[in-house]
Structure 1
Amino acid sequence: MKNSIKASVLIIMLLAACVFLSGCTTETPTATPTAEPTATAEPAGFTTLIPGVLSVATEAHYPPFENINTTTNDFEGFDIDLMNEIAKELGLEVQYTDHAFDTIITAVQAKKFDCAISAFTITGERQKMIDFTDWYYESKGQVISVKADDDSIKTAEDLVGKKVAVQLGTVGEMVTRNITGINQGDIQSYASMGEAFMALKKGEVVAVIGDHPVSYPYIKKYPGDYKFVDTPMSEVEYFGIVVNKDNPGLTAAINDAIAKIKADGRYDVMYDKWFAQ
């Protein structure tokens, strides 16, 4: 009997110990692996040809919008300052390429560049091929520049039968080719406005037709050589940045950046820097 009682007590004690131990024991947690961070080169919504880099084409011989500094070899100008600020807003580095103006749009179409900035006038014909951002510059339009001592050219009609210089692929060239009665063979197309004005100085042409803000520096710097004809060639024009139609997210992102740059005063600072007269 005594042995039975001892055995019963022992069993009870063992059971109690099991209950106590089971109550204090916790399950070993299962380790959840930490997901590797996903590297994002650009903000969501658009892509660039080179991760983290905005590849930009420009015809860098069109001051004051774009030019190459002969001392530093750096790209400079109003368009360049603006694009640098846009790239900052997008969190991207910017890489410029000096490219022939008349082939820039097709190069963006072919996805050789993410976008292009080069004083491009927004036109319906161009919009069939690429997208434009919101306008960032309002131009007085196309103007006629002649030699300072030439009073024979008053209007576009006075150019009929005479040789005229334009920059290849520009709206200035389009407007000139549409002058009623003009001989298409008399229109001399040059790779840059600098070459066009040099042709005027040499007497190879009687006039240069181009954007007012691009022609103005030549008039201002060489008042004894050139002057404007009073009658403009076209109405006010608006410049936009060229983007491939397959990348609407980039167009939207640039539009947001332009709006911020205009709103916080940076645009006005750049404008005064390059266009203060």
Structure 2
Amino acid sequence: MRSLVLRSSTLFAALALSAGLTTTASAETLRVVTDPSFVPFEMMDQESGEMIGFDMDIIREVAERAGFDIEIQTMDFNGIIPAVQTGNVDIAIAGITITDERDEVVDFSDPYYDSGLRILVGANNDDITSFDDLEGKRIGTKIGSTSYDYLQENLGDSANITPYPGSADMYIALLGGSVDAVFYDAPNVGYFSTTRGEGRAKVVGPLYEGQQYGIVFPQGSQWVEPVNEALTAMQEDGTYDEIHTKWFGESEEK
């Protein structure tokens, strides 16, 4: 009888240990939201149906290092911060500028990308060369973006500002003559000018409103620190530079 009890106890302990290991090894799946129109940070691969881009490579690498799985969802940029704020998603990454206003309702990771705002005009437009030249002009930008806020603060009623739901919409408006210029995030504007807009559009003027992008979480999220640690490690071991070079070429600092 004693031997049977020992065997039973040993079996129970083994099962309990096995269950514990299974629970520990099973990574939590976090809902990650992005905006599929912000190329080359995030975009839909038409062949595979998967989200690809700089941000997508970053979040997949971060998730692996921080110990969670991800389920990627997409939505218009304007709805991303509210979705995180209400807890409908766990993480957002979409070239989201860190601002004091946003920081009041969500938590940000450490900055992972330095950016700013640029002007895009038609290839034959020589009338607009700086921000001052936008006065009285028709300007396209994106709903809910810091570029829209900047335009409102610095031009207000002295220009015809049209916010579009997607970046593709404002570029189509520019090429079609519905707006005189587009004012938006520098990497996205630059990418368009050298791809679909090559020969039809050009970037003018300096970089405005230096900005930094951060990964977004609901306030009090337990994942902020693990993600920051992962980002730091990626910077230190060269993984970040590899991803940056893949999408943007060599860093200007090199």
> Which residues of 2 match residues 42-191 of structure 1 at below 5 A?
52-139=28-115, 141-183=116-158, 186-191=160-165
Measure the CA separation in 1 of the matches of 2:104 and 2:205.
33
Question: Structure 1 residues 89 and 231, CA, compared in 2 at 3 Å: closer, same or farther?
Answer: closer
Matched positions, count: 239
Measure the CA separation in 1 of the matches of 2:227 and 2:203.
35
Measure the CA separation in 1 of the matches of 2:50 and 2:40.
14
Question: Structure 1 residues 209 and 159, CA, compared in 2 at 3 Å: closer, same or farther?
Answer: same
2:211 to 226, 234, 237: 237
CA contact (8 A) 1:42 1:91 kept: no
Output the TM-score relative to the length of structure 1: 0.80
CA contact (8 A) 2:131 2:205 kept: no
Following superposition, the deviation at residue 245 of structure 1 comes to 0.6
Question: Which structure 1 segments of 5+ residues have no match?
Answer: 1-27, 44-50
Following superposition, the deviation at residue 90 of structure 1 comes to 2.3
**Deviation digits for residues 201-224 of structure 1 (CA, Å, limit 9, x no counterpart):** 000000101111111111112332
1:224 aligns with 2:189: no
1:254 aligns with 2:223: no
Measure the CA separation in 1 of the matches of 2:31 and 2:185.
25
**Deviation digits for residues 149-203 of structure 1 (CA, Å, limit 9, x no counterpart):** 111113223222221100111111111111235347x211112111111100000
Following superposition, the deviation at residue 89 of structure 1 comes to 0.9
Report the structure number with the largest CA radius of gyration: 1
Q: Percent identity?
A: 30
Question: Structure 1 residues 148 and 179, CA, compared in 2 at 3 Å: closer, same or farther?
Answer: same
Question: Structure 1 residues 202 and 257, CA, compared in 2 at 3 Å: closer, same or farther?
Answer: same
Question: Structure 1 residues 152 and 182, CA, compared in 2 at 3 Å: closer, same or farther?
Answer: farther
Measure the CA separation in 2 of the matches of 1:70 and 1:126.
32
Following superposition, the deviation at residue 58 of structure 1 comes to 0.1
Measure the CA separation in 1 of the matches of 2:220 and 2:69.
21
Question: Which structure 2 segments of 5+ residues have no match?
Answer: none
